[in-house]
């Protein structure tokens, strides 16, 4: 079989994109789509190792390539979060490689080469381009419908700390709450007027900040103050504000925000 370099790189880049997308979904990481594309292309170029006779060194190249792909594809939040993404990429890659190797051994097809952990499919470049465009369109639609990252459940207990006193409240995960304190970019959770006044009266830091708010009804402002901290999902958060809002959902004390979930926690767990 004649191996075409452009097809080899493009196929592996496409596969890498799906694997990086899987890492993004599993870890809840935030990243730009163009970063995933560049990370996938970096992995696609590494597929050229199929032409090298380097023996066991291919394992080291694969590890370094995976680390590079993760570094390009996702913003660095912490060493722990980075390592977690690398591990998931290794797991997804191992599963994919295992499936391809099994197909290669079972069907003994002349349309596929499996060498040095790299897969090459002998397909027409036009067909590959069409498949890539269709796949990208499907991914775009999926991301558009799942962009809000709706969690499996909507109600979570959260403990807010103000003035050394703890208040355990029932929080509602509002996937549309992207409120940030304008200077520190700390997340803002929202409560009703009664709880807000009570917690602010207890707090050491009574200075209020003005938070810009944009809703379907138009733009406005909200007052908020910095809490001493919070505990959510058994994790401590120190950089967080409490805002005063209206019309909270029924049986809800606090409107939460997606920043409390996934990788974003690493950004807000420390004071600034």
Interval 45-65: pLDDT, tens: 776 665 556 556 667 777 888
Pairing outcome for strands 229-232 and 118-121: unpaired
Q: What DSSP designation does 262 have?
A: G
Q: Please state, for a pLDDT cut of 70, what percent of the chain lies above it.
A: 64
pLDDT at 52: 59
For domain 155-268, which CATH number applies: 2.115.10, 2.30.30, 2.40.70, 3.90.25? 2.40.70
pLDDT at 149: 46
Domain borders along the chain are 5-146, 155-268
pLDDT at 57: 65
Alpha carbon separation from 4 to 120, 121, 132 (Å, rounded): 9, 10, 17
pLDDT-flagged residues of the chain (< 70): 1-8, 28, 47-58, 77, 96-153, 215-217, 261-272
Q: Quick count: other Cβ atoms within 10 Å of Cβ 183? A: 8
Cα distance between residue 218 and residue 129, in whole Å: 43
pLDDT at 112: 54
Name the pTM for this structure: 0.48
Task: Report yes or no: 19 and 92 within 8 Å, Cβ to Cβ.
Answer: yes
């Amino acid at each position: 079989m004649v191996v075409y370099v452009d097809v080899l790189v493009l196929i592996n880049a496409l596969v890498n994109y799906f694997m990086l997308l899987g890492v993004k979904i599993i870890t809840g990481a935030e990243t730009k789509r163009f970063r995933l594309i560049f990370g996938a292309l970096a992995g696609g170029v590494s597929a050229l190792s199929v032409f090298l006779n380097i023996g066991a060194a291919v394992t080291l190249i694969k590890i370094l390539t995976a680390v590079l792909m993760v570094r390009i594809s996702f913003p660095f939040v912490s060493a722990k979060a980075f390592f977690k993404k690398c591990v998931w990429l290794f797991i997804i890659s191992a599963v994919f490689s295992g499936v391809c190797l099994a197909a290669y051994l079972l069907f003994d097809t002349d349309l596929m080469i499996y060498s040095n952990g790299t897969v090459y499919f002998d397909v027409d470049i036009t067909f590959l381009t069409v498949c890539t465009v269709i796949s990208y369109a499907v991914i775009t639609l999926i991301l558009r419908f799942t962009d809000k990252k709706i969690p499996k459940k909507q109600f979570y207990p959260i403990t807010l700390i103000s003035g050394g006193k703890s208040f355990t409240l029932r929080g509602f995960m509002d996937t549309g709450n992207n409120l940030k304190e304008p200077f520190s970019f700390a997340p803002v959770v929202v409560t009703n007027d009664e709880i807000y006044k009570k917690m602010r009266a207890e707090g050491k830091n009574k200075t209020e900040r003005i938070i810009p708010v944009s809703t379907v009804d138009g733009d406005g402002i909200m007052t908020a103050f910095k809490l001493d901290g919070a505990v959510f999902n058994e994790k401590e958060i120190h950089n967080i504000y409490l805002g005063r809002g209206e019309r909270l959902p029924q049986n809800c004390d606090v409107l939460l925000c997606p920043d409390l979930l996934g990788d974003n926690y690493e950004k807000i767990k420390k004071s600034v």
